[in-house]
Structure 1
Amino acid sequence: MKEEMKKQTVTFPGEELDERERVWYFGNYAAGVCLPLTEGFVRHAQIPEKLKPVYDKAIYALRYILRNDNEYPDADTYVEVLMGLHCLAECLPALNAEYITVDSHDEIYAQANRLIALRILPALRNFAVCTQFPPDYFCRIYMDIRDQCLHWDAALKEMIFAFEYLENPARYHNEQSIKRMQTGLHLFAEYLQEMYNV
C-alpha cells in the first residue's frame, strides 16, 4: 500500500526548500516545480510530433537551471536556456487536457498548468515583495535605482497575473487577459535565470 502511494505522488525538486529559500532561490524553486509536471505531461499526453521539440527545449532549460544553479553559463548556453524557457512560456497554457489529450489514468497531468500555477504563485508573490536585485536589463536601461525597481515591479505584476490566469482561466477568459497572460509568461521566461535574492 505504501509503495502504491509513493508511485502516485509527484515529487518536485524545489519542494524540499523551506518557505524562505523558495523566495531567496526562486529560480530554482520555479524550475523544480515546472520540471516534473512538464516531463510527466509530455510522457502522458498525445503531443503532435511537430510540437515535441518545443517541449524538449523547455525541459532542457529547466533541467539546466536545476543542475547548474551555482554556475554562470557561457553566452551560448545562457541563450539556449533562455530560448528553452521561452518555449516553456509557449507550452505552459497548453499543459492541460482541454488542449492536448492526456491518458485517462494519469489525471494528475490533466491540469498540469494549474498545478504549476498553484505552487508557483505563493512563492512568486513573496519574491515580488522582497526582491532586491532587478535583472541586468533594468540596470542597463534605467540609470536611477528607483526607475529600475519600478519597472521590475511592473514586470513582476505581469508575471503574477499570468499565473493567476493559469490558476483560474475561467475568471479572466477574454482576449485582453489572454494577451496579458502570454506577456507575463514570457517575462517569467526572460528573467527566471536572474530571479534570486542571493
Structure 2
Amino acid sequence: MQTVVITGGTSGIGLATADVFLKNGWNTMLIGRDAEKGMQVERHLGETYSPAQVAFIQADISKSSEVEHAKQITLNKFKTVDAIVNNAGIVIHGEVHETSEEDWDKIFDVDVKGTFLISKAFLPTMIEQDHGSIVNISSVSGMAGDRAMVAYNAAKGAIINMTRAMAIDYGKNNIRVNVVAPGPTNTPLFHQGRL
C-alpha cells in the first residue's frame, strides 16, 4: 500500500486531498499544529475508512527537529513515503509598510521553509526507492500580485520557483515535483465572504 504525507491536512484543501487519497486506498499521514483538531480528524477518517490507514502527527513544520520527529513516526508506522503534499500555509494581509518583520518571517517560515524542510526530510527515502511524487501547493497569488498581500504573494511565488528547481534536480531519481496554484477557495484560510 502506498503512503502520502499531507501537511495542513486537517482542514480545507489538505483535508479534501486526504479524503481523495484514502478513497483510493493510500495510507495517509496528516501533519498539523493543532493536536485536538488533528486527533478529531484522525478519528473521523479512521471511522470512515480504516484506523490503520490514517494517522495524525502534531508538528510545527517550520522547525527541523519537529519535522525529523514526524518523519521517524511516519516511517515507523508506514515504512515508506511515496508522495508528499506540501499544503500547509498561512496568510497575513498588509502592504509592505504595514507588514511587520515578524509577520513576514511567519509566512515564509510556514509556507516556504516548511515546504523545504518536509521535502528535505523525506526525499532521501524517495531517492532510495527510486520513485516518488511531491506536490507543492502555491496559489494564483504566487503568479500575480494581490492588493495588501505582499508577504503571501512573495512566499507563494517562492514555492513556484522552488518547485521548478526541485523538478530539475530530482527527475533523475524518478521523483516528480509539481505545483498546484488554486484560486480563491472557500476554506478556513480564505472564507468566500471575505473575498
Higher share in helix: 1
* TM-score using structure 2 length: 0.30
Relative contact order, CA 8 A, sep 6+: which one is greater? 1
Higher share in strand: 2
